[in-house]
Amino acid sequence: MFRSNLSDSRREERRLEREAARQLAYERGETSAVRTPVEGLSTQKIVRATIDKIRELAPDLQGDFLDVGAGNGELIDRVIREFRLTAHACDYRNDLMTIGGLQVDAVDLNTEPLPYANASFDLVTCTEVIEHLEHYRATLREVSRVLRPGGVFVVSTPNVLNLRSRLRYLFFGFFNLFGMIRVEDERHHSTHGHISPVSYFYLAHALAGAGFQEISVSVDKRQRRSWIALSLLWLPIRAFSEFCIAKERRKYQTVDEWNEPFARDMNRIDLLLGRTIIVGCRKKTA
Q: What CATH number is given to the structural domain containing 233? A: 3.40.50.150
H/E segment holding residue 121? strand 121-127
| Residues paired with 67 in a beta bridge | 89, 125
Provide the number of structural domains found in the chain.
1
Q: Which of 118, 160, 175, 170 is nearest to 142 (CA)?
A: 118
d(CA 85, CA 59): 12
Domain that holds residue 173: 2-283
Query: What pLDDT does residue 251 have?
Result: 95
pTM: 0.85
**Residue 260 CB: number of other CB atoms within 10 A?**
14
Return the sign of the alpha-carbon dihedral for residues 218, 50, 278, 236.
positive
Q: Please say if the pLDDT value at position 77 is more than 70.
A: yes
| Residues paired with 87 in a beta bridge | 65
Instruction: Tell me how far CA of residue 94 lies from CA of 72, 74, 137, in angstroms.
Output: 9, 15, 23
Query: What pLDDT does residue 9 have?
Result: 73
Condensed to tens digits (0 to 9), the pLDDT of residues 112-153 reads 999 999 999 999 999 999 999 999 999 999 999 999 999 999
**Which pLDDT band holds residue 286 (cuts at 50, 70, 90)?**
confident
| Residues paired with 157 in a beta bridge | 277
Query: What pLDDT does residue 14 have?
Result: 63
Condensed to tens digits (0 to 9), the pLDDT of residues 18-65 reads 566 555 554 544 433 333 333 334 589 999 999 999 999 999 999 999
d(CA 267, CA 248): 16
Amino acid present at 212: F
| Residues paired with 155 in a beta bridge | 126, 279
Q: Please say if the pLDDT value at position 257 is more than 50.
A: yes
d(CA 40, CA 268): 25
